[in-house]
């Protein structure tokens, strides 16, 4: 796929991405009970969709029963094998993929931020198991990817990129929903997530972060995270973030001679005007008036 043949919009999209998904192999196979598989592992992700039949994967010593419309995503470097159980055999779509650095061409396990926030978390273990229905968009995309990889049409490589990007968007949404369902009613787990979110705020308030960035860090939807955060702390996440920024600004106003505009940027505000508005709302005075009152 030569870059000269790509439309400008496609070039722009590629240039804005640090990592590109690389499909190592996509296959559709049928295995019967006479087939055997030895333990193996590899340095890439492996996604297995069961079209029909039943079997048992063993991933890092843990048995994982699989059946029709199950999806199993095995992380890199995990020992695994498959045993076919149904007499009629099993039919699979297997997608193997990595993420390649656009600039240095090094491989990375980093992909779409939401997806990997979950994949790299302790909750997900050595694999991720999903149950979907036959009409699910994920299945539709897997079938398209297999079909496209088998063709030699112009632009098929780039179309595969687009398809796998779309695939991970849908996977992220499904995983986020399952993650939220798993923590509902589990107060200790939710408390720990809020604690992690608060820690993230203190470590990153000087940057231009949003509530969505904080929610993504703990792999929760913005709406669910906002409600849970307020229930736990008594304050909304955006107001908590502003409070942390203002508290730091108060220290800088008293302890340094930095200009107000510099302080605004140092504590994460995009401009002085917005900083002044938030500051006055919280303290009923301006930054300069506050500095004068403390220094006098």
DSSP string, 72-89: EEEPTT--EEEEE-STT-
231, HSE (Cβ side, Cα atoms, 13 Å):
11
Q: What are the φ and ψ backbone dihedral angles of 292, each rounded to 5 degrees?
A: -65, -40
Domain ranges of the chain: 3-182, 186-296
pLDDT above 70 covers a percentage of the chain that reads 83
Q: What is the pLDDT of residue 274?
A: 93
Would you identify the CATH topology of the domain 3-182?
Jelly Rolls (2.60.120)
pTM value is 0.58
Contact status, residue 80 vs residue 57, Cβ threshold 8 Å: yes
219, HSE (Cβ side, Cα atoms, 13 Å):
28
Give the model confidence (pLDDT) of 186-223 as tens digits: 678 788 889 999 999 999 999 989 998 898 888 788 88
CA distance 58 to 227: 39
Residues 6+ apart with CB under 8 A from 198: 233, 240
186-296, superfamily in CATH?
Homeodomain-like (1.10.10.60)
Q: What is the pLDDT of residue 110?
A: 33
CA distances (Å), origin 234, targets 44, 110, 189, 190, 274: 43, 35, 18, 15, 24
Q: What is the pLDDT of residue 172?
A: 75
The DSSP secondary-structure symbol of 121 reads S
CA distance 156 to 2: 12
pLDDT in tens, the chain (296 residues): 333 344 444 444 444 445 556 778 888 888 888 888 889 988 888 889 999 999 999 999 999 999 999 999 888 889 999 999 998 889 999 988 876 665 554 443 333 455 555 555 545 578 888 888 766 888 888 888 888 887 777 777 778 778 887 887 787 777 777 777 777 766 787 888 899 999 999 999 999 899 988 988 887 888 889 999 999 999 999 999 999 999 999 999 999 999 999 999 999 998 999 999 999 999 999 999 999 998 77
Q: What is the pLDDT of residue 211?
A: 93
Q: What is the pLDDT of residue 108?
A: 39
**What tokens appear for 208 in the block?**
């231009």
């Amino acid at each position: 796929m030569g870059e000269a043949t790509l439309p400008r919009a496609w070039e722009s999209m590629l240039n804005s991405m640090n990592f590109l998904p690389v499909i190592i192999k996509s296959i559709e196979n049928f295995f019967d009970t006479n087939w055997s598989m030895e333990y193996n592992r590899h340095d890439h992700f492996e996604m297995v969709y069961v079209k029909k039949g039943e079997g048992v994967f063993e991933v890092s010593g843990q048995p994982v029963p699989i059946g029709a419309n199950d999806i199993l995503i095995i992380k890199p470097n995990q020992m695994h094998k498959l045993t076919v159980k149904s007499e009629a055999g099993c039919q699979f779509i297997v997608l193997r993929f990595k993420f390649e650095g656009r600039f240095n061409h090094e491989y990375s396990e980093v992909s779409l931020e939401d997806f990997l926030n979950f994949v790299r978390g302790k909750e997900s273990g050595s694999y991720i198991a999903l149950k979907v229905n036959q009409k699910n968009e994920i299945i539709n995309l897997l079938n398209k990817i297999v079909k496209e990889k088998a063709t030699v049409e112009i632009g098929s490589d780039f179309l595969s990129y687009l398809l796998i990007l779309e695939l991970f968007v849908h996977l992220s949404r499904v995983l986020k929903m399952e993650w939220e369902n798993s923590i509902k009613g589990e107060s200790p787990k939710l408390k720990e997530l809020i604690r992690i979110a608060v820690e993230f705020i203190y470590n990153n308030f000087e940057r231009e972060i949003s509530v969505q960035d904080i929610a993504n860090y703990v792999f929760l939807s913005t709406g669910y995270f906002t409600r849970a955060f307020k229930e736990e702390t008594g304050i909304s996440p955006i107001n908590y973030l502003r409070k942390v920024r203002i508290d730091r600004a108060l220290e800088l106003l008293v302890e340094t001679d930095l200009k107000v505009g510099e302080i605004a940027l140092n504590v994460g505000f995009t401009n002085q005007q917005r900083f002044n508005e938030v500051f006055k709302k919280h303290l009923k005075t301006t930054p300069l008036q506050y500095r004068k009152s403390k220094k006098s």
